[in-house]
Amino acid sequence: MGVKRLITNPLRDLARVRPVNTASLAFHRAWPGYQPTPLRAAPHAAARLGVASVLVKDESSRLGLPSFKILGASWATYRALCRHLGVAESSTPVLADLRESLDSHPLQLVAATDGNHGRAVARMAKLLGLRAHILVPHDMVPARIATLREEGAEVTVVAGGYDDAVAASAALADDTHLVISDTSWPGYMDVPAWVIDGYGTLTQEIIEQISEQNLPAPSVVAAQIGVGAFAAAMVRAFSTEGIRVVGVEPTRADCVLAAAEAGDLVTIPDPQDSIMAGLNCGTGSPVAWPDVSAGMSCFAAVEDADAEEAMRLLAEDGIVSGESGAAGLAGLLAFSDELKLTADDHVLVVSTEGATDPVGYERIVGTCPAPQAI
């Protein structure tokens, strides 16, 4: 198990970072009720960090779910189903058109999850009239399992952690079981790459909001890592000269930081059992690794107490953020001195989820807000 630390990325090479793929934008904008999630000012966080401003992309409600994950899951599902069915992709894809093509196809969508990705895949299955089978680690909190079942998914609890759930989901793949994973492995790269592309909608929204609202461009960006899909999308959008992108992981699941130290992907020992459940991964994703390793300025490993502090601080700014959602800010709080943040810095963080574990949120922050209608 790792320790709390901050390292400069020894592999940084901005020339190797791939460009943002914005192909998912038209797809997401065609959804009924689509609107960009808010980019909120966080003055209490700015004061704590001693910086000019903090902007928080608030993903507590995204296309009817309490997490950004639906962006990657929906685009990857669309692309994977088009390929599976031999259906041509439209220049402006519409979900209803795909559902018509699925009539009489007995497909089941399969995914491993620590919560949010699996719920997004299950929601896609429901929207498309398909079944979903979601595999989860043994220590997933009951509230997250309950939401998977509320989406109509079959849920299997695997005797092990997230990586074990991934392996079990991969073993189910066949002609009638389509695996929609946000992590990759040898021979399975396209779908996780499409997940990353789907998150391009989020990063493009941020860029447009900063421009439309005449806000200062960020000089420091925090990005949660996990397997690396979200971090890869953030790196593609924001890793340029003059912007520092800080990758953040739990000390109990610091597999990408360990990979940076080793010079290539590694698998860290079990268990990965941080409260930042969405980041509890033992191995980084090979399809995300090239961008993450090339674009991050530094990597931070933080403790659960750091995430709890960040959740409370975001709540002071009126932002409801779950444990994984607050992890990016947690990294900046934990290492503000080492990062040499100044009053000239403008900070961007993404709160990637709302209170997906209401019991945990109430314990850490206080009264959990009532769930939003979805």
Decide: residue 295, CB within 10 A, 0-12 exposed, 13-18 middle, 19+ buried: buried
Distance (Å, whole) CA 247 – CA 205:
20
Q: Is residue 126 flagged as an active site residue?
A: no
Distance (Å, whole) CA 40 – CA 46:
12
> Which of 114, 254, 345, 357 is labelled catalytic?
114
Distance (Å, whole) CA 282 – CA 310:
23
The CA-CA-CA angle for residues 298, 300, 305, to 5°, reads: 160
Cα–Cα distance list, 43 to 198, 210, 341 (Å): 30, 17, 15
**In this structure, what are the phi and psi dihedrals at residue 337, rounded to the nearest 5 degrees?**
-70, -50
Phi-psi group of 36: left, alpha or beta (phi > 0 → left; psi -120 to 50 → alpha; rest → beta): beta
What is the Cβ-side half-sphere exposure of residue 292, based on CA atoms within 13 angstroms? 31
Pairing of strands 220-224, 5-8: unpaired
Tell me the longest C-alpha to C-alpha distance in the chain: 60
> Which of 69, 197, 254, 306 is labelled catalytic?
69
Q: Which residue has the tokens 């709302």?
A: 354
List Cβ<8 Å contacts ≥24 apart for 364-369: 364/308, 364/311, 364/312, 364/323, 365/311, 365/312, 365/315, 366/315, 369/320
Pairing of strands 346-351, 177-179: unpaired
Q: Is residue 340 flagged as an active site residue?
A: no
Decide: residue 1, CB within 10 A, 0-12 exposed, 13-18 middle, 19+ buried: middle
Please report the sign of the dihedral spanned by the C-alpha atoms of residue 329, residue 307, residue 247, residue 201: negative
Read off the tokens for 260. Answer: 């940076």
Catalytic residues: 69, 114
